[in-house]
Every structure is written in structure tokens, then in C-alpha cells.
Structure 1
Amino acid sequence: MAIGYLNGKIISSSDPVLPIDERGHQFGDGVYEYIRVYNGRPFMMDEHMNRFFKSAEAIKLNLNHTPDEIKDITADLIGRSGLDDCDVYMQATRGIAPRNHLFPNVPASISMTVKPFRAMDETLRENGASVKLLPDERWQNCWIKTLNLLPNLLAKQEAFEAGAFEAVLVRDGVVTEGSSSNIFLVKEGVLITPPATKHILHGITRIAVLDIASELGISVDEREFAPEVILEADEVFLTSTGIEIVPVTSADETKIGTGKPGAVTEKIYEAFMKRV
């Protein structure tokens, strides 16, 4: 069953528990993390915890918990839910205080939910997805996984309304990432992806793919590239915790490569699923 947690209390995920003066609600003053659970076990939990705490540190938010304490709470919630394959969302905000731009002297608020995994349409993996190239209108520090996702939502919605699966964002003539994913290209056997600068989220699945490429002996080039390079690629794929690895076969209605998922993408996906 879906289950929730708020500051030490087990609650229903549908309970109305948000106070008016919660700073996550008022300002988006917080960070979050999303973790996939396979067969009752969180995948790459250490990497998720590392990013969660780095994001909190970046916005000067003291979580008042250790990574191990967060892991214990997560494990308890997963056990209580009775779910084997599920999604864990956790977020931390600067707490409850009268509206004021300055930081309040109150404890951080930590909440979590455990819900059944939302399965993606597998035909996307079989046939490939389409993407739409859009301007990257987010702030400068996209590596911080904050609650402020409105530009991402607007880009995702525009892509959806254009019949595309994902928006791929372009900043100053350079591709950054998807609205909720990282992007990889394959060109002449080399795996190419934007470098882990402050302009992209340092994806957990991205980390896994780079490690898998090293194991498989696939050359990797982390570099900036222009949007037209996507159209010239042999293969393109997206990565994220939710979608894992999804091939891209068209961008702005232009076919990429053969128009079908490529061999390198499939090889990496197979290796990823073995890890899972």
C-alpha cells in the first residue's frame, strides 16, 4: 500500500498534512530525492543519499539526520508498505515558520512517500521515443535537486503537447539535458554526454551508465555539443531513475540514425538490468 512519513510520524500518503507556513509550500525552499526500489531493495541508495545531502548543503539546509538514519527510515517505510517494486520520494524543507525571506531558526522538515512503481509504456523502449528541443530557461544551479521545478514542468508539458516524450533543453547553443532526464549520444561507437557541470542534474542512472560503459570497454566523451549533433548521432538515449534507459529515435520530428533503437543502447540497457 502507499504510505507516508512526516517528521517521525507514519501517515497515509493521502492525509492533508501541509501547514500553510511550510516553507516548501511558500518558497519551494527545499530539496528532494527519488529512489527506485526493486524487489524490496533501494537501487544505488548510497549515491542517492550522497546527492540528497549535497543538495541540502548547497542550499544551507541542515537535515538534522545522518545518511544512515535516512536509510533506516526508508527501509522501515518500504517494509511497512509491503511493496516490492515501488517509488520512494523524500523531500526536506526549511520547516514551518511565518513567511519571511530570511532563514528561520526551526528544524528541517523531512517527508517521504512509498508508492507502487509507475510503469512506463514499454513500447517506448522497444520502438524509441521522440524528443522536442526547447530553450533551457532554468536557473544556473541545476545540479541541486531542489523543489523549484516549474521551468522543467513547462518544458515537459510543451513537449507533450507537441506529441513528444521528453523535452531536451538547450542553453546558449549547447545541449544540457532533458526536463527530467540526462541525455547520451552514440557516434561511431563513442558514447557522448554533456559533462557534469552545474547546468545539469548529476543523475544516478547517468553514473551507472558511465560505469557500465567502462566495464564494457565503450569509449566515453563527456563534452558539450550543439543541438544539431543530436540529429547527426547514430544513437541517442535518455536516462533517469524512473525510465531507466530509453532510446530516442527522433528529435523535432527528424529521424535519428536508422530510426530504431541502436545496438549500443540495447547493450548498455541489458547490462543495467543485470545490475538491477
Structure 2
Amino acid sequence: MTQIVYLNGDFLPIESAKISVLDRGFLFGDGVYEVIPVYGGKPFRLAEHLQRLENSLEGIRMESPLATSDWEAIFARLVDGTEDQSIYLQVTRGAPPKRDHAFPKNTPPTVFAMCTPIAPIPASGVCAITVPDIRWQWCHIKAITLLANVLQRQQAVDAGCAEAILVRDGQAIEGAASNLFVVSGGTIVTPPKGNDILPGITRDLTVEIAHANGIPCEERPISLNELRAASEVWVTSSTREILPVVMLDQSPVGDGAPGPVWQRMNSLYQEHKLRLRQGL
């Protein structure tokens, strides 16, 4: 079955979707993106994802090309069935007539969106490594300029791991493609929002669920020493949900298996998803 995608007002087979070689996303990485999970045919926390998109666009001095109702109409056309899937959308500063670092004038943006299945999440946990954070200073913008993240994630893959946890000035910041949580002294801890981390939608929901269920949770810096001494380590993202890390830098986290706090949080997260599927 041919996959249909959205590109600049048209729905067309993915093989027919083309952009100009002068597109600033291609030449400069000048654009932003968003990933929205879909459960039971319903986009998950859509308002929060679209607000983050607006924030990212504002961060690179672009206006949103579409209204919320327009995004909803596009997603409704792209979502296929009720299986778990994710929407990827990308907005770039478009394709001006010549290459120039300065912002072009009167150039319409390039808007692209597609929907793909979500891979199964390994409930047995994954391994991760720690690496120096070599990224830029505006990590709160969900920009498509992801080369540093790509290199660090590949470093993890080369080591047989699923994620790289980034360390800067002795502090564990986040994963190359995820937010970071630890369980320390029975309390869930995640780094606070700021320019050095992406304000993850799944991260925020995890914090909300913990508070709503009386589970101790703090937003504060995590030192590398605290990360290595934690009884549990998790990474969160839209497509990986709450993923337990059971090995870190070739050493077991806790007893080397998903911990009891993760078990409870994952159960509560799945209940939240079920209510969405049921329209509650």
C-alpha cells in the first residue's frame, strides 16, 4: 500500500513528494519539527505538541504557517487505522531563489507531514552510555539541525546501546533523542526545563502523572555521580514513552532490571493511553 504524505497543500504518494534543492531545510537545517504519537486513531496531547511547535517556530523567528484546525484536518487525512503510530511534521523557511544565510523575504515555508507505525517498546529495558554534550545552546527549540544528536546516538548504537545520555559540566542533561529521569532515594528526579533541554511532552506528562498519584517527583539538576548511583534510570520520548535503562556504561542500573517505580509509572501511563483510546 502506497504511503500518502502531506507537502505544501497536497496529499500525494511519498515517492512523489519532492522539495527544491534550494530549500533552507536542506541547505541550512533551517526549520523545526514535531513528533506526535497517535493511539486509537487519536493524536496524543495534540494541544501541547502544537504549542511546542509554535514555541519552536517563535524561537527561530517564523510564524506558524497553519492554524490548529488546519493541522487537525491534515492529521485526520494521514492517520490510518487505530494502531499505534506517530505523526512527523516539519516546517522549514522555504526555498528562496538563491542561497544566502540571511532570512529570505516573501518566501513561503515548506510544510511536510507523514504518519508511520510506532515500533514496539522493549519492556525489558535498554542499555545506554554517557557522552559529553557537544550540542548548541538552544536545545529547547525542536530544530531539524540534529547532527550532534545523530552522532551521539550513533555512538550509542555502535556500543550496542539504545541511547546516549548527554553530560555537560558534570550534570546529566538528557538523552540524544529523549528526556532523562532517575530514581534517587525513592524520589523521581528529572532535570528542570531551560535552554539546555527539549521541553518534552512525554516528560511533562510523566511529571504530571507522578504528582497526581502522590509519587515523589522533583525537577532539579542531576549530577553524573547521582545518575550512576541511581536505583532506576529512564528516558522518555513521544515514541518510546517511559523506557527503562537497565545498563549504563556497561554497569547494571539497580539490579539490572526495570525497577518498581518504573513498573508503577508505566502502568499509570498505559492507563492514560487506554482512556484516550476509549475517548474518555
What TM-score do the two structures reach when normalised by structure 2?
0.93
Residue identity in the other structure for 1:42: P
1:191 positional shift: 0.6
Residue aligning to 2:103: 103
Over aligned residue pairs, what C-alpha RMSD do you find?
A: 1.3
* Distance in 1, Cα, partners of 2:82 & 2:33: 21
Residue aligning to 1:145: 142
Q: 1:170 aligns with which of 167, 171, 176?
A: 167
Conservation of the 8 A alpha-carbon contact between 1:189 and 1:218: no
1:260 positional shift: 1.2
Give every structure 1 segment of 4 or more consecutive aligned residues whose post-TM-superposition deviation is greater than 3 Å. 81-84
* Distance in 1, Cα, partners of 2:248 & 2:84: 32
Conservation of the 8 A alpha-carbon contact between 1:55 and 1:146: yes
Conservation of the 8 A alpha-carbon contact between 1:6 and 1:112: yes
1:84 positional shift: 3.8
Residue aligning to 1:261: 258
* Counterpart secondary structure, 1:14: helix
Residue identity in the other structure for 2:73: D
* Distance in 1, Cα, partners of 2:70 & 2:189: 37
Q: Does 1:75 align with 2:73?
A: no
After superposition, residues 174-253 of structure 1 pair within 5 angstroms as 174-253=171-250
Conservation of the 8 A alpha-carbon contact between 1:89 and 1:114: yes
* Distance in 2, Cα, partners of 1:264 & 1:83: 30
Gaps of 5+ in 2: 274-280
Q: Does 1:9 align with 2:10?
A: yes
* Distance in 1, Cα, partners of 2:40 & 2:5: 19
User: Which range moved further: 12-21 or 184-193?
Assistant: 12-21
Residue identity in the other structure for 1:157: Q
1:20 positional shift: 0.9
CA displacement 1:49-82 (0-9 Å, x = unmatched): 000111001100122322232122212222xx44
Conservation of the 8 A alpha-carbon contact between 2:230 and 2:253: yes
* Distance in 1, Cα, partners of 2:168 & 2:15: 38
Conservation of the 8 A alpha-carbon contact between 2:39 and 2:82: no
CA displacement 1:159-191 (0-9 Å, x = unmatched): 111111100000111111000011101122211
* Distance in 1, Cα, partners of 2:241 & 2:81: 23
Percent of pairs with identical residues: 39
* Counterpart secondary structure, 2:20: coil
Conservation of the 8 A alpha-carbon contact between 1:63 and 1:108: no
Residue identity in the other structure for 1:48: H
After superposition, residues 24-39 of structure 1 pair within 5 angstroms as 24-39=25-40
CA displacement 1:132-181 (0-9 Å, x = unmatched): 00010000010100000000000010111111110000011111100001
Q: Does 1:86 align with 2:79?
A: no
1:256 positional shift: 1.3
* Distance in 2, Cα, partners of 1:20 & 1:165: 33
CA displacement 1:22-47 (0-9 Å, x = unmatched): 11101111000011111111111111
* Counterpart secondary structure, 1:217: coil
What TM-score do the two structures reach when normalised by structure 1?
0.94
Aligned length: 270
* Counterpart secondary structure, 2:143: coil
After superposition, residues 129-140 of structure 1 pair within 5 angstroms as 129-140=126-137
1:211 positional shift: 0.5
1:118 positional shift: 3.3
Conservation of the 8 A alpha-carbon contact between 1:213 and 1:268: yes
